[in-house]
Amino acid sequence: MIAHRSAAATALAGKLRPLLLAGAAMLMTAAQAPDRVTPMTPDVIDHYEQTLPSADFVRREVMIPMRDGTKLYTIIMMKKGVKNGPILLSRSPYDAHGSAHRVASQRIVDNLDVMDTEFAEDGYVIVHQDIRGMHRSEGQYIMNRPIVGPLNDTGIDESTDAWDTIDWLVKNVPESNGKVGIIGSSYLGFTTLMAEINPHPALKAAVPESPMVDGWMGDDWFHNGAFRMSSLDYAVGQAFNKGDGGGEFALGEGDHYSRYLEAGSAGDFARKLGIEKVPGVRKFLENPAYTDFWSLQAVDKWLAERPLTVPTMLELGQWDQEDSYGAPAVYRVLEPKDKNNDMVSLVIGPWRHSGANHGGWSLGALDFAGDTAKEWRVKWMKPFFDHYLKGAPAPRTPPVLTYATGINEWQTSPRWPMGTQTPLYLAADGKAGFAKPAQAGHDDYVSDPAHPVPFLPRPIDMGDATQWKPWLVHDQRFVSDRPDVAVWQTGPLDKPVHIMGAPQVDLFAATSGTDSDWVVKLIDVYPNDVPEPADQGGKPSMAGYELPIGIEIFRGRYREDFAKPVAIKPGKVERYSWALPNVNHVFLPGHRIMVQVQSSLFPLYDRNPQSFVDNIMFAKPGDYKKATQSIWHGGASASSVMLPIVP
């Protein structure tokens, strides 16, 4: 009887269960339903998830622990369904979250930067990370944190952070194949190179793009001792609010040429804006010479002391306005370690800083043969990673790949530089040629710090990307007629002159002052009858265009020793030697080769007072004096620009 009733009850319960569950669901829904909205219902919500179930990708946000306990914010993205995918890592001070949330879209290619899209579509796991102390990561930020050693006794640097990050990724991303590549431009180029110092075994390939390598010799902060005023802006912006913004200079509207000139020295400018106590600013102002403070931070020197174990493709733009020094410097120390000429390659494209990661059809007034940047990424860079990370066939990466501007074509070569240094001599009457003048002479100009030569036509806005990014290809006719700019040029060429390498300046000069800056420009002068009128899209006619092929500055006080500045003896002819940026360029028949020499490039570089002071950053108003500059040519003082000419 009991058993019979239990069976009946069980059957009844089975029939009622769906009704009971439906009723319970209705009660729960009613209990969870929000109150009815009223005109006074608050409109703020805690979160809106932009990644919908329909998205074609997976996004994870994690905090990866470092060996000291600090956790670094990291975004991991991949297309849905990825299996056995290689990892492509970038480590940045510029907001990893933003780099993976470019557009609110359900397609992975819309969310990521252009440089990532080909990889994301091909099953790569894309990883972006905030370096320590920046944006959403924990820890303290130190700009270009030195490697563990004489300047850093913490046991922690960007190399160890890269190692710890890679170790965590290969153990915690089940969709990966355990192989990692690293890539990045500018500061990210620095962190890419740092990952190659004591590299994790899973790191199989690296592409440092326009890397920050030596901030004093020629990347970012100084060039041959001359200080870049924009470095102050960068230091403050990075230091404030973990790099999240709000540190911009309150200069107001107007011509920055006037703003910087009115402020005085770099130190006076810092005091005027109240930034003189910012640690990054102090590092610049208190260390103007190439002492151990800077020389022991040079990444190429660190890499020179270590074995080459990671296949590396170094990339930079021919007109890189920020980091033209680093990649060739690293190539010089790594290439001798590459015994089979297959571990290190160098790429120089017709781009501005980080231009390889954007559209490469043009730069300023110049047009190229198609999208040169995408062509490099698809034809050479991705196959390089595919080989080392996915086991694809050998990509036959050329030892050196450069774009020959002037004739607009990619060229491969077995080494760099390729050209033979051939002097282009300065001569009397503003002439230049390949024959050494027998008779010595000089051309003079007066350099006045109260009226420095601008690096762009005024008004200048240092924060305007349309001015800053293409400035190295700007037509130089805007200063050719200034009395404080000396000019020499060849006659029209009767045959092409092809250069592949870094032109070298060999300048004999005297000054009536006790210190001086020297700026040399190598220029391709277009024929004045180019039958191409200015178009309606804003590009100028190339008729008579004075195209800079290389511009570089040298601070005279460092002619003997970069670490120990010494005054110049007034009137004494001194020899100054330095390199212009690396280029592959063809001066075409009918064009002329021009050399310009001047003693300021403002406000990109601080003004030299032209009277020797211990620390040029704190020069006083009375220290800034006019000076007569004499550029010698011919005889025993035959100034020239050495051109690396190939047949």
> 427: number of CA atoms within 13 Å, CB side?
15
* Domain 222-294, classified CATH 1.10.630.10, yes or no: no
Give me the pLDDT at residue 34, please: 61
Give me the pLDDT at residue 589, please: 98
Instruction: Tell me what the mean pLDDT of segment 467-472 comes to.
Output: 98
- Do the bridges between strand 432-433 and strand 574-579 make them parallel or antiparallel, or are there none, so unpaired? unpaired
Nearby residues of 397 by Cβ (< 8 Å), 6 or more positions away = 313, 342, 345, 380, 383, 384
Confidence at 408, pLDDT banded by 50, 70, 90: very high
**Strand ranges (E), 17-82:** 57-65, 71-79
> What percentage of the chain has pLDDT greater than the value 90?
85
Given a cut of 90, whether residue 255 has pLDDT beyond it is yes
Residue 420 CA from chain centroid, whole number: 28
Give me the pLDDT at residue 375, please: 97
Q: What is the pTM (predicted TM-score) of this model?
A: 0.92
pLDDT tens-digit map of 600-633: 999 999 999 999 999 999 999 999 999 999 999 9
Confidence at 99, pLDDT banded by 50, 70, 90: confident
Three-point CA angle 381, 384, 389, nearest 5°: 125
Given a cut of 60, whether residue 362 has pLDDT beyond it is yes
Instruction: Tell me what the mean pLDDT of segment 54-67 comes to.
Output: 94
Question: Across the strands, what pairs with 501?
Answer: 583
Confidence at 248, pLDDT banded by 50, 70, 90: confident
> What percentage of the chain has pLDDT greater than the value 70?
93
pLDDT tens-digit map of 280-332: 999 999 999 999 999 999 999 999 999 999 999 999 999 999 999 999 999 99
Confidence at 114, pLDDT banded by 50, 70, 90: confident
Which run of H or E residues covers position 641? strand 640-646
Integer angstrom CA distances of residue 108 from 50, 59, 90, 102, 121: 12, 9, 17, 10, 8
Given a cut of 60, whether residue 18 has pLDDT beyond it is no
Give me the pLDDT at residue 26, please: 47
Given a cut of 50, whether residue 28 has pLDDT beyond it is no
| Cβ contact 353:322 at 8 Å | yes
Given a cut of 50, whether residue 31 has pLDDT beyond it is no
Give me the pLDDT at residue 489, please: 98
pLDDT tens-digit map of 118-146: 999 999 999 999 999 999 999 999 999 99
Give me the pLDDT at residue 61, please: 96
> Residue 171: exposed, middle, or buried by beta-carbon count in 10 A (0-12, 13-18, 19+)?
exposed
Nearest Cα residue to 122 out of 103, 113, 111, 109: 109
| Cβ contact 98:128 at 8 Å | no
Residue 16, amino acid? L
Q: For residues 309 and 295, what is the distance between their CA atoms, to the nearest angstrom?
A: 24
Q: For residues 583 and 319, what is the distance between their CA atoms, to the nearest angstrom?
A: 9
Give me the pLDDT at residue 378, please: 95
Nearest Cα residue to 319 out of 642, 521, 548, 545: 548
573 backbone dihedrals φ, ψ, rounded to 5°: -75, 120
Give me the pLDDT at residue 539, please: 80
Nearby residues of 257 by Cβ (< 8 Å), 6 or more positions away = 454, 458, 459, 460, 602, 603
Give me the pLDDT at residue 535, please: 57
Length of the chain: 647
Question: Across the strands, what pairs with 348?
Answer: 316, 402
Q: For residues 344 and 632, what is the distance between their CA atoms, to the nearest angstrom?
A: 41
Give me the pLDDT at residue 626, please: 98
Instruction: Tell me what the mean pLDDT of segment 62-86 comes to.
Output: 97
- Fold for 420-646, please state it: Jelly Rolls (2.60.120)
Give me the pLDDT at residue 186, please: 98
Query: DSSP string of 343-399?
Result: SEEEEEES-STTGGGS--SEETTEE-SS-HHHHHIIIIIHHHHHHHHH-PPP----S
Residue 324, amino acid? S
Q: For residues 615 and 98, what is the distance between their CA atoms, to the nearest angstrom?
A: 40
Given a cut of 80, whether residue 252 has pLDDT beyond it is no
Given a cut of 50, whether residue 4 has pLDDT beyond it is no
pLDDT tens-digit map of 511-564: 999 999 999 999 999 999 866 555 546 788 999 999 999 999 999 999 999 999
364 backbone dihedrals φ, ψ, rounded to 5°: 55, -125
Residue 183 CA from chain centroid, whole number: 13
Q: What does the domain layout of the chain look like in residue ranges?
A: 57-216+295-413, 222-294, 420-646
| Cβ contact 181:349 at 8 Å | no
| Cβ contact 93:72 at 8 Å | no
With both helix axes pointing from N to C terminus, report the angle between 158-172 and 187-195 in degrees, rounded to the nearest 10. Answer: 70
CATH number of 57-216+295-413: 3.40.50.1820
With both helix axes pointing from N to C terminus, report the angle between 114-121 and 382-390 in degrees, rounded to the nearest 10. Answer: 40
Integer angstrom CA distances of residue 366 from 47, 231, 473, 594, 596: 46, 28, 8, 18, 21
Strand order of the β-sheet with 546-555 is: 486-489, 592-598, 517-525, 546-555
Q: Dihedral of CA 48/53/59/64: which sign?
A: positive
Give me the pLDDT at residue 534, please: 55
> 286: number of CA atoms within 13 Å, CB side?
10
